[in-house]
A and B are shown apart, each in its own frame.
Chain A
């Protein structure tokens, strides 16, 4: 069906990792974690890379790191950060929250002080529980609003829209632009789903005085989701807000809609922009599917995507494994985070964790790919609501899409 996830990105990871681990096993006595000294300046900067290469979510989550890879390639080609190249230290978390504590310890043992990943809100919150106490800088793919709380997670930076922002956009469009009042919510049983649903209900209630007609919560490993979709249909939901973040689930949901001949408008997370959708759902039904995305990657009749974004799309097109995942890769926080890191280090002229943190906290209106990124010590949710828009999923078949561009939803 699609490229085997095991072959992705593992170009140099396995052997080196095995060696490191062996070395770590034997030399564990020395591995108590000494901070990098100034004399190590010329050494490569180790960047932790928590990415699932096995497990049931690997096929959905593993490709999301291409943006980060592109950023590293660009920075290294341009001479690195303050003269130091970036080297990835990769660990597989199997996309399982249960694995995160061990993965963080492995990272720490390899003198990593800065981590990219994991992907998924539940995985991220589990990882954050360990990295926060160990004072490791991190950016995860976690849309849950909680992950952008700088007081709770002072070492974590959320370089992406969060569930509050997404809910606001999704609900608003559903009620105001589409005029739907009977709204059902379909969420995956993860931290992301929980917070997405909670935020949607608040927006529905506060802005429009509505309550959802049905809330369906499905486990991400359910073999079949038609029962949940059927429940939405039975409850009379005329529009569905979907907090769905992985490809197989989204495919199952749209397929269930097809067999049930039930095609309500759907708004939700960028995970809805799956490539297989066009085979599953009749064209007229896809017209009704809208997903949250970033303004910079969209076009309207009057506006075109920015030149940097077009350049990114062209680079991405060189990776055949990224095909079909372009939107989700562009929406991943990793590219922008690595550049934010570079900006912070260069501003502080230091690789010390606390200095980098200071640099990141002081970052104001940094021009990222996804939008303007700003942090304060309290607010680590970097993207502003103005950069979050809904896009038409059907526009993925438009020649202007270039993989990761989409047309803004009418009226956005």
Chain B
């Protein structure tokens, strides 16, 4: 076996699985239990794929997924049995209602943190379970809706085999849609919101809108799964949608691998199929899964797919991709934005972090803010970029007032920033992190992206090339396809700068970019900042490294305990005695050596 063949095994396995799934009905009876079970499996996979997008990629742990499936199932059951609607119309209503509930469910996730939200969804699942029994006038109580007719098309009823193919085709379509979404700017934004919300804000992605999108997609998938559930089972009862059922779904995707494409498929196969094969174990199933879940979370947080992938990497050690030619990239000039701050004030509890600070960075200038720890430098950046609301004062960017705007809106105006500790999305590659920067610039709509229309494909290709160019610009092109979390600290900062530039930043706020850098890295950083400045961008840098500041900044402001101590050209400011005392202490004043 040649190494090329070995490298292709995962792809071949995927196609083999697909072929087996498509061929299966030819080998089992139309009325057989086996076909009944695999059809159900397909339905579970469809729902799990949606939940994986929500919980795995967007990080919203939902323990109430059964409710969304129930809405799809009950819509179809009631509309087809009582109102004699055709299946298709009823299914669309079910999906729409489910997606509507998805919007409602998303609202608490804006305000509550992950686990509060998980709890609320669990509570919702428990309440929902009771309500479908209680609302007998609608749901027919404990007995449920019986005798849901099979879907029909052009007067031809779907038999069990046709239904299986319908479900399989839907699951496949769902898989491909989610794959396309995950690999697009939406997928990058999901992961950013999940792992590093500040990064999402910095590229102008609204966490609310991202969560809402994930909820609506997941709910619509569940609604579709519910619609199939009703026709496959022919009976829809409250017992089908207990809180346990919701937990099963979360279990399924955790088992398979949260945030992996194949996770829900593998999880559902293992979770729902294996007990069918080992009938004697059926009653132990929940216990075994409880233990499995615990063990997986402790030892393999990425589930079975994650573990397989890791094992695979060990077997088929891929020859490292040829490093990208580090070609010099010329960059078009940037029209810098000015930053004008006046009378800025911020109080945290009893501490006055900023007390009436004025600061101006003219367009195209490089200005530095220095000061001892706790003097309010980072707070100033956070207020300017909208991460905290200011108590008083004005912030004007490019001449327009921005105080009170949300962080992602300020970012969208052309403000890029880096963080004291780099806020990269560790699980994405370096180039994907840079592409995330272009979140606001991408024009392809959601539909075009999900369907991978040619326009969306072309744009994605163009942006990738651009992102690689930015990586080359900051000098880390060789790491483009490695996970960002594995990059050394210094390089992570450079990737952050590339991300800011990718977003078309005209005002770049750098928060201690030199912290922890080696001498050679420091030199590269200095060159890079000078290059960006020379392109015309406005740069505001918060930095302890006074040599660096002296070399690049045309203007320096010194903060101490929330007030401006001095302001002016670096050479003048650093000679100021009050600055020396505040900043470096009495000893430094005598010794005179900058740290």
Contacts and interface: CB of A to CB of B under 8 A. Distances in A.
B279 A22 contact: yes
A384 interface: no
Contacts of A100: 235
A324 interface: no
A18 B280 contact: yes
A97 B237 contact: yes
Interface string B35-71: 0110000000000000000000000000000000000
Given A28-B34, A31-B34, A105-B36, A21 B144 contact: no
B276 interface: yes
Given A105-B36, A122-B142, A21 B28 contact: no
Contacts of B266: none
Chain B residues touching A, range: 20 to 34
B240 interface: yes
Contact of A32 (B29, B144, B280): B29
Contact of B142 (A28, A54, A220): A220
Contact of B279 (A18, A29, A219): A18
A54 B284 CA distance: 12
Given A29-B28, A31-B34, A97 B144 contact: yes
A283 interface: no
A114 interface: no
B73 to A, nearest CB: 11
B136 interface: yes
B113 interface: no
A134 B143 contact: no
B497 to A, nearest CB: 56
A28 B144 contact: no
B32 interface: yes
Given A98-B235, A98-B239, A126-B235, A219 B34 contact: no
A316 B77 CA distance: 43
A98 B280 contact: no
B133 interface: yes
Contacts of A190: 141-143
A35 B57 CA distance: 51
A207 interface: no
Contacts of A97: 142-144, 235, 237, 239
B133 A189 contact: yes
A190 B142 CA distance: 5
A249 interface: no
Nearest to A105: B33
Contacts of B34: 24-25, 28, 31, 109
A178 B496 CA distance: 86
A17 B33 contact: no
Chain A residues touching B, range: 35 or more
A109 B235 contact: no
A154 B174 CA distance: 41
B531 to A, nearest CB: 66
Interface string B227-252: 00000011101011000000000000
A128 B280 CA distance: 27
Contact of A33 (B29, B234, B240): B29
B144 A122 contact: yes
Contacts of A99: 239
A189 B136 contact: yes
Interface string B132-172: 01101000011110110000000000000000000000000
Interface string A6-48: 0000000011011001101100110111000000000000000
A22 B134 CA distance: 40
A122 B237 CA distance: 9
Contacts of B33: 24, 28, 31, 102, 105-106, 108-109
B30 interface: yes
A188 B28 CA distance: 41
User: Looking at chain A's contact residues, is the secondary structure mostly helix, strand, loop, or mixed?
Assistant: helix
Given A17-B279, A105-B36, A109-B33, A219 B142 contact: yes
The residue in B133, B235, B240 that gathers the most chain A C-beta atoms within 10 A of its C-beta is B235
Contact of B233 (A96, A101, A194, A217): A101
A15 to B, nearest CB: 8
Contacts of A33: 29, 31-32
Contacts of A194: 136, 141, 143
A33 B160 CA distance: 15
Interface string A99-121: 11110011011000000000001
A220 B142 CA distance: 9
A129 interface: yes
A125 interface: yes
Contacts of A121: 143
A29 to B, nearest CB: 5
B545 interface: no
Given A18-B280, A28-B29, A219 B133 contact: yes
B27 interface: yes
Contacts of B37: 102
Contacts of B142: 97, 122, 188-191, 219-220
Contacts of A122: 142-144, 237
A16 B208 CA distance: 55
Contacts of B30: 32
Interface string B270-281: 000000111110
A54 B282 CA distance: 11
Contact of B239 (A14, A96, A129, A130): A96
B11 interface: no
A96 B238 CA distance: 10
B279 A108 contact: no
B440 interface: no
Given A54-B283, A98-B240, A219-B134, A32 B235 contact: no
B130 interface: yes
B44 to A, nearest CB: 13
A169 to B, nearest CB: 23
Nearest to B36: A105
Contacts of B28: 28-29, 31-32
A32 B134 contact: no
The residue in B31, B33, B239 that gathers the most chain A C-beta atoms within 10 A of its C-beta is B33
A207 to B, nearest CB: 26
A109 B32 contact: yes
Nearest to B160: A105
A168 to B, nearest CB: 22
A123 to B, nearest CB: 9
Nearest to B27: A29
Given A18-B279, A219-B130, A28 B32 contact: yes
A190 to B, nearest CB: 5
Interface in B108-140: 130, 133-134, 136
Nearest to B37: A102
Nearest to A20: B279
A210 B435 CA distance: 75
Nearest to B233: A101
A122 B28 CA distance: 30
Interface of B: 27-34, 36-37, 130, 133-134, 136, 141-144, 146-147, 233-235, 237, 239-240, 276-280, 283
24 contacts: A15-B280, A21-B276, A28-B34, A29-B29, A31-B29, A31-B34, A32-B28, A32-B29, A33-B29, A54-B283, A97-B237, A98-B233, A99-B239, A101-B36, A102-B36, A102-B37, A106-B33, A108-B31, A122-B144, A126-B144, A130-B234, A130-B235, A189-B133, A219-B130
Given A98-B240, A190-B142, A217-B136, 14 more contacts: A28-B32, A29-B27, A32-B30, A96-B237, A97-B144, A97-B235, A99-B239, A121-B143, A122-B142, A125-B143, A126-B146, A129-B234, A134-B31, A189-B133
What 3 A-B pairs are tightest by C-beta distance, nearest first? Answer: A32-B29, A122-B143, A191-B143
